[in-house]
Structure 1
Amino acid sequence: MVVATNSFPGSNGTTFSPNDILDLEKGDPLVFGAYWKKMSEVCTVVIKGWELMSYLSDAKNVCWFMLSEFGDAVRRLHHLVGNAVIQERYIVVGTGATQLSQAAIYALSSHSEAPQPINVVAAAPYYSEYPSEINVLRSKLYQWAGDAALYKKNEPYIEVVTSPNNPDGVIRQPVVKSEADGKLVYDLAYYWPHYTPITHQADHDIMIFTFSKCTGHAGSRIGWAIVKDIEVAKKMTWYVHMSSIGVSKESQTRAAKIIGVICDGYQNIGSIESELFFEYSKRILRERWEKLRKVIEQTKVLTAAKYPTFYCNFTNESSESYPGFLWLKCDESIEDCTSYLMEKLKIRARAGQRFGVGPKYARLSTIGTEDEFNELLERLSNAD
């Protein structure tokens, strides 16, 4: 039996017996919890009972339910990191990247007069939830059509480009070779300097980011899209309006505060002395990946992706990527990697088939608690 507590999610004394299932199928980003516990005093938000009661935030803004302080914080963060062009762009806030992805696809397909739904594709291995997200509404506007690399139809399409990619951490570009009219949605949830070098300012028509992967605050359920075209931004806002009548102001207030603390640290505002957030989080992820590689290299049946080194314009140093997931491949002696991990090592992973590839692959989270990670290292050392 796993002994756990409801205290701070880090090295909290959780113990595992050999027969316990180590659940790394999901990607709950608790790895940064120690930092935010240390910074809790400056990140605390107090909301009085009469505040934030209205649906409206700014009726003159395209995204009328977005708090001005949240929009300002997002712009400040991207100016600081330099990972996306933010000037002369519209910001649409949503309940995480999932809702914003749906909103973007709705916006790009809603003008179509085609007799059949527009095809939505992504290059395999693609994010495992894309097919379900696309098909859950059974929309007449769009439908999931699989691997973008295999798309050859002479029909309109929308390609979702996830970069860095989930599950394998690879930097991606569009791959569809069809001559048909195509639209692009960029999912840049992991394009932050703790996961990958920031080599350029992304400049695309629709770019989606999420608070959960940037800072680890998945429970706040908030993300944002940077949109070039005002009509697309209006349609995305309409989608969020119709599906949730806006986005929680409490979440926006908390996110704005935390983003402000990150930026203040780099701009030497205030008297809090602490390791800067992106430096801290990159150090933790780098240390984890160094340990993972040592363990995996000693096994005879597992391999993991390797990443090239690039110069990061934010950190002013060269480094490789440190993704939030471990994309494992089992050797030829193992038919099903997920089954092997469960039966041999009692590790629950997400199967390669869900990402559009074969059963030789499996995805494991590397961004859980310290106790979970140390248990992962111990169990992987027993792979043979």
Structure 2
Amino acid sequence: MYEAYWRGMGDRCSLVISGSEVMSYLGGNPGGACWFLEPELEKSIRRIHHLVGNAAAQAEDGGHVVVGTGSTQLLQAALYALCPPDQPEPTSVVCAAPYYSCYKEIAELLQSKLYKWEGDAHNFNKDGPFIEIVTSPNNPDGLIREPVVNRPNGKLIYDLAYYWPHHTPITHKADYDIMLFTFSKCTGHAGSRIGWAIVKDKEVAAKMTKFMEVTTIGVSRESQLRAAKLLGIICDDCQAFSTNTKSQNFFDDSKRLLTERWDKLHEVVKRSETFSLAKFPKDYCLFSDRFYETHPAFAWLISNNKVKDCASLLRGHKILTRSGNRFGADATYVRVSMLGREEEFNLFLERLSTIKIGICNGIAHIN
């Protein structure tokens, strides 16, 4: 979805790296908590959070920046850092359903003795230490989340990948012990594989860094420099926009496009009477200085007629989705991306509008 915006920026976003540059593992931060973090990226990360106001990320806030190969690696690193190696049983890992489908895969992949996936936080009743992942705005349903378990022997990881003003109003400055962000959800550059964590505890930040050091010997320096460049451009444009409304602003431009897409989807769903979507309330955004609704990157769609496998129904109409059972929900739900190219999104709306389901004697009839 963001390709057109960045294409319009032309050579302003170009970054030239010669063959003799960034050849070493070592970056320019050998004495920091994250030794492979490029100083330019750290500066851009702290700057964009300061401008947007979505996270306490300044040095005076006590936060250490840890860079990773996307927020997926950072989540793995955080689990490693928060789980003592000498505990008698693995630490339980939970998240309120519906939860991001990859959390379960990440926690179970290595069958680690450090931690164990325990599923929906609402159903968690085991004694002992636990880690709760709080995703806000949530993936897949876009809702703002708070911790569910709320017990003294737990630790929290906040996944704030979508807490940016093109997706949701910025209502407060997040200030938690571990906060995860990702370049892909902020700017759309998923291929650069850059994520970052703001970590209060220096020892936890050092353990997360050790995880990345052992698994990947740091993070691509070229990707870090590209991320620093693009985040810096967004910051420059946000500052220019505050004094000249004729200038471009990435967040406002993206929010406008997402608003248009959500309006179109709501209209198609309303006419079809086959599916339902959540309607988000308006809230005041500190960054944009106005009220508006959340516009998530994904639509959490449910069949009104209780089709048992909604993903299969849509696949039959050449619409690819992810089934709700992968998110700890049932298969009457599906997650649909709102971030494809314009022609793909319009084709999705066209195909969705053709699906009609009627109920006769308790049997669903699909037209």
TM-score by length of 1: 0.89
What amino acid sits opposite 1:209 in the alignment? F
Q: Within 2, Cα distance between the matches of 1:372 and 1:362?
A: 18
Instruction: Please state how far the C-alpha of 1:306 moved relative to its aligned partner.
Output: 1.3
1:346-367 CA-partner distances (Å, limit 9, x unpaired): 2111000000011110001010
Q: Within 2, Cα distance between the matches of 1:274 and 1:135?
A: 47
Q: Within 2, Cα distance between the matches of 1:333 and 1:65?
A: 51
Q: Within 1, Cα distance between the matches of 2:290 and 2:306?
A: 40
What amino acid sits opposite 1:255 in the alignment? A
Instruction: Please state how far the C-alpha of 1:333 moved relative to its aligned partner.
Output: 4.3
Aligned with residue 88 of structure 2, among 112, 115, 129? 115
Instruction: Please state how far the C-alpha of 1:332 moved relative to its aligned partner.
Output: 3.2
Instruction: Please state how far the C-alpha of 1:299 moved relative to its aligned partner.
Output: 1.1
Moved over 3 A (4+): none
Structure 1 stretches lacking a partner, 5+ long = 1-30
Q: What is the SS of the residue equivalent to 1:77?
A: helix
Q: State whether residues 306 and 332 of structure 2, in contact with CA within 8 Å, keep that contact through their aligned partners in structure 1.
A: no
Instruction: Please state how far the C-alpha of 1:137 moved relative to its aligned partner.
Output: 1.2
1:232-266 CA-partner distances (Å, limit 9, x unpaired): 00000001111110000000000000011111112
Q: What is the SS of the residue equivalent to 1:376?
A: helix
Q: Within 2, Cα distance between the matches of 1:371 and 1:144?
A: 39
What amino acid sits opposite 1:48 in the alignment? S
Q: State whether residues 99 and 328 of structure 2, in contact with CA within 8 Å, keep that contact through their aligned partners in structure 1.
A: yes
Q: Which residue of 1 aligns with 2:359?
A: none
Instruction: Please state how far the C-alpha of 1:340 moved relative to its aligned partner.
Output: 1.3
1:272-331 CA-partner distances (Å, limit 9, x unpaired): x75210010000000000000000011122001111110000000100100000100012
1:106 aligns with 2:80: yes
Q: Within 2, Cα distance between the matches of 1:103 and 1:333?
A: 40
Q: State whether residues 300 and 383 of structure 1, in contact with CA within 8 Å, keep that contact through their aligned partners in structure 2.
A: no
Higher relative contact order (CA 8 A, sep 6+): 1
1:54 aligns with 2:17: no
Q: Within 2, Cα distance between the matches of 1:254 and 1:354?
A: 33
Aligned with residue 7 of structure 2, among 26, 32, 37? 37
1:372 aligns with 2:344: yes
Q: Within 2, Cα distance between the matches of 1:40 and 1:183?
A: 44
Instruction: Please state how far the C-alpha of 1:113 moved relative to its aligned partner.
Output: 3.2
Q: Within 2, Cα distance between the matches of 1:252 and 1:55?
A: 13
Q: State whether residues 240 and 247 of structure 2, in contact with CA within 8 Å, keep that contact through their aligned partners in structure 1.
A: no
Q: Within 1, Cα distance between the matches of 2:174 and 2:8?
A: 32
1:49-98 CA-partner distances (Å, limit 9, x unpaired): 11101111121111000010100000000001000001321000000010
Q: What is the SS of the residue equivalent to 2:101?
A: coil
Q: What is the SS of the residue equivalent to 2:261?
A: helix
- 1:7-26 → structure 2 map (5 Å cutoff): none
Q: State whether residues 163 and 170 of structure 1, in contact with CA within 8 Å, keep that contact through their aligned partners in structure 2.
A: yes
How many residue pairs match? The answer is 349
Structure 2 stretches lacking a partner, 5+ long = 357-367
- 1:232-243 → structure 2 map (5 Å cutoff): 232-243=204-215
1:162 aligns with 2:135: yes
Instruction: Please state how far the C-alpha of 1:267 moved relative to its aligned partner.
Output: 2.1
1:291 aligns with 2:264: yes
Instruction: Please state how far the C-alpha of 1:107 moved relative to its aligned partner.
Output: 0.6
What amino acid sits opposite 1:107 in the alignment? A
What amino acid sits opposite 2:68 in the alignment? G
What amino acid sits opposite 2:202 in the alignment? I
- 1:172-187 → structure 2 map (5 Å cutoff): 172-177=145-150, 179=151, 181-187=153-159
Q: Within 1, Cα distance between the matches of 2:128 and 2:229?
A: 45
Q: Within 1, Cα distance between the matches of 2:238 and 2:194?
A: 23
TM-score by length of 2: 0.93
Q: Within 2, Cα distance between the matches of 1:183 and 1:136?
A: 21
Instruction: Please state how far the C-alpha of 1:155 moved relative to its aligned partner.
Output: 1.6
Q: State whether residues 155 and 180 of structure 1, in contact with CA within 8 Å, keep that contact through their aligned partners in structure 2.
A: no
Q: State whether residues 157 and 180 of structure 1, in contact with CA within 8 Å, keep that contact through their aligned partners in structure 2.
A: no
Q: What is the SS of the residue equivalent to 1:225?
A: strand
Q: What is the SS of the residue equivalent to 2:21?
A: coil
Instruction: Please state how far the C-alpha of 1:268 moved relative to its aligned partner.
Output: 2.7
Q: What is the SS of the residue equivalent to 1:55?
A: coil
Q: Within 2, Cα distance between the matches of 1:366 and 1:52?
A: 36
Q: Within 2, Cα distance between the matches of 1:320 and 1:274?
A: 23
Identity of aligned residues (%): 55
- 1:107-256 → structure 2 map (5 Å cutoff): 107-109=81-83, 111=84, 113-177=86-150, 179=151, 181-256=153-228
Q: State whether residues 164 and 172 of structure 1, in contact with CA within 8 Å, keep that contact through their aligned partners in structure 2.
A: yes
1:71 aligns with 2:42: yes
Instruction: Please state how far the C-alpha of 1:383 moved relative to its aligned partner.
Output: 1.8
Q: Within 2, Cα distance between the matches of 1:285 and 1:123?
A: 26
What amino acid sits opposite 1:149 in the alignment? H
Q: Within 2, Cα distance between the matches of 1:145 and 1:266?
A: 42
Q: State whether residues 94 and 131 of structure 2, in contact with CA within 8 Å, keep that contact through their aligned partners in structure 1.
A: yes
- Between stretches 179-188 and 289-298, larger displacement belongs to 179-188
What amino acid sits opposite 1:51 in the alignment? E
Aligned with residue 234 of structure 2, among 244, 262, 277? 262
What amino acid sits opposite 2:156 in the alignment? L
